[in-house]
Structure 1
Amino acid sequence: MESTPSINRYEQLPEIDTTLQEQAKQLGTTKTFSPLPSMGVLLIKGDMAAKLLHGQASQKIEDLPEGELRLSLLTSPKGRPYATFYVVRHPEGLLLLLPRSTLETTQTNLSKFAPLYRCTFEDKSDEIAVVGFNHADAKVESVDAFNLPGVTERSIGLCRFETLTALFNGSNNSELTPVSETTWNLTQIENVQILLEQSHTDQFIPQMLNYQATGAISFKKGCYTGQEIIARAQYRGGVKKRLQRLIGDGEAKAGDQVVCLMEGDKTEAGEVLLSAINAEGKTELLAVLKDNTLEEPLLTADDQPLTLIDLPYGLEKQEI
């Protein structure tokens, strides 16, 4: 089934005219909300939606309770994720919250199983707005909020676009400050969690992105596409690069290389997946780096020094 291109209604929202550094300061000092235009919303519609997704996803889905959000993956037969998403219950089935760039591929792949489970798919990205809140207790009327996993208390909200516009206008008596999605990405970097865009799908096994440590994989749920490869990597090892958090003065963006100085020579250490400007004006980023480069000097592609920041979690698997 082909997906219908969605209208990006986020473009109709008021502009945020403060600098990214100023927004990052607000992120640390006040309650904020962030429209997330890069996120799409896919409805799997039908009574057997949970059964369909449970059979394909890396996380348990059938026992997902109302009001809870879970992080999960869809992987190729080679065990490489082509979609990462949050999933929540919906009166008509399940909602997948995922990068817009991966929505079409996700729908196409899952639609292969739709006739068996009598499900249909609808792109709701032009109807349901996705909003990030930097405090999980930032409750807003007419917004369905779901706590996010991680070391900081954050939540994802779903609402009508009219409600999101009202947040900007302050007409709902909210004292929340708007900050951009780029600034919201600082919270993803702090938690060292990544949602894969289409440009990075099918490139990594989940353990390279620390998904075994962030609750995206259940090692008890049974079979799903790619499960044997993922289990082999977990129990037999062989993973030689992982998602890391870094900070530096230079610029870096998704797709840029991180360089390592090894015995005086430059060599590729890894690739940047996400970056943002923090309250001090420095660049924070997430990059997949080779393990053997972590003790060596690391640089941006334009030779600016980078410093590793400790992960907020251990790399052992969560027992789910």
Structure 2
Amino acid sequence: MATVTASTPALGSVRLHHLAALDVKGADAEKFLQGQTSAQVSLADGHFAPLTCFCTPKGRMLANAQLMRLGEEHFRLLLSSTLLDSLASHLKKFAAFYKVELVSLPDLTVIGTSEGASSLAGQLGLALPDKVGTHTHNAEACVVRYPGETPRWLLCFDNDANIDMTPAQDDQADRNAWQLEDIRSGLAWLTDAQQDHFLPQMLNWEALGGISFKKGCYTGQEVVARAHFRGQVKKRLMRLSVASASLPEVCASVVNGDDKAVGEVVVSAFNHQGGVEMLAVMSTKVAEETMQLYLAGAPATLLPLPYTIERVDPEQLAVSLNG
């Protein structure tokens, strides 16, 4: 367990080592991705950067990502660095049948920033996108507007880019502040610890516009659609807090008063009050019934998410963002 050494700082600029990128290039890049991912790939138009996910035939998530089009035949997926190799290996099994190239970018510089966004983007020759879920890019870099109470952006560029990196810190406290904003936004990035474990809806992916129910087939589509239309999703991502000086392990159990597991931790971060906030996949009964919750013996409290648990079609989202 990690222990807290200081209060969470204000959100500045920080290197995000937990994220990496996978580029998909070639004449068949769009067609290839359309058959593999939950996104309507054509919506990634160089402005809108839809959320997406990749699933097993049984509908379990192998990875979730943000999809950007950087060129007519060039797409970029931003995802957990722990899933970069496994997703690339999975997709290579199908890429052999298409005119497509997969390029892993584990060493791409990824910066999360708020106050320093204008300076960093300006050095890269980019304008800051003003709407959550949109991006701007050029040949050297891209910048995506992220959700959160504090306006924030994610920039990624090659390590040899000629910019002043002085404002970007490289310590855990600053990464914790970024992670806390993700948690308060109800946004969880799957890691290798829970790969092939959740349906996309268990991470509220359809409530975030990460699933197109209007597109054609993709791997796992039938199971994902059936779970949605038949109301078979019995677990959901929820936000909790606990008074603790240490972070729980990923997959740590949240239990009820009878010591029965009712959820598991996906991601956690320290908050400004000296406690911990987290996102956990929980039984929907937790929200429907009044019950006491515990994590490692400490009482846990349910907190609200900034969105309702209902389907958001990315097709409609794209229209609103491009309007």
TM-score band, normalised by the shorter chain? 0.7 to 0.9
- Tell me, yes or no, if the aligned pair for 2:148 and 2:181 is still in contact at 8 Å: no
Task: List per-residue Cα deviations over 1:154-194 (Å, max 9, x = no partner).
Answer: 32211233559832x25xxx9x9986322211011001111
Of all paired residues, the percent bearing the same amino acid is 33
Find out whether 1:216 has 2:214 as its counterpart.
no
Counterpart mapping for 1:1-320 below 5 A: 20-23=6-9, 26-27=10-11, 32-91=12-71, 93-126=74-107, 128-134=108-114, 138=118, 140=120, 141-142=123-124, 144-149=142-147, 153-162=151-160, 166-167=164-165, 169-170=166-167, 180-250=174-244, 251=246, 252-261=248-257, 265-294=258-287, 295-301=290-296, 303-320=297-314
**Contact 2:199-2:224 within 8 A present in 1 as well:** yes
* Cα distance in 2, alignment partners of residues 135 and 220 from structure 1: 38
- Alignment check: 8 A CA contact 2:54 2:61 kept: yes
- Distance in 1 between residues matched to 2:59 and 2:119, nearest whole Å: 38
Asked whether the 8 Å contact 2:186–2:305 carries over to 1, the reply is yes
Q: What's the CA shift for 1:136?
A: 9.9
Q: Which amino acid aligns with 2:64?
A: T
Amino acid in structure 2 at the alignment position of 1:296: M
Deviation by residue 1:121-144 (Cα, 9 ceiling, x = unmatched): 121222x21122246964522152
Contact 1:258 1:299 survives alignment (8 Å)? yes
Give aligned pairs, total.
Answer: 287
8 A contact 1:135–1:155 mirrored in 2: no
Aligned-partner SS, 2:96: helix
8 Å contact kept, 1:80–1:202: yes
With over 3 angstroms needed to count, the CA separation of the structure-2 counterparts of 1:135 and 1:203, relative to structure 1, is farther
Structure 1 length-normalised TM: 0.82
Amino acid at match of 1:21: S
TM superposition shift of 1:151 = 6.5
- 1:38-64: CA deviations, max 9, x gaps? 112111121221221111100111231
Consecutive unaligned residues of structure 1, counting only runs of 5 or more, are 1-17
Give the AA of the match of 1:232: R
Distance 1:160 1:269 in 2: 43
Q: CA RMSD in A?
A: 2.5
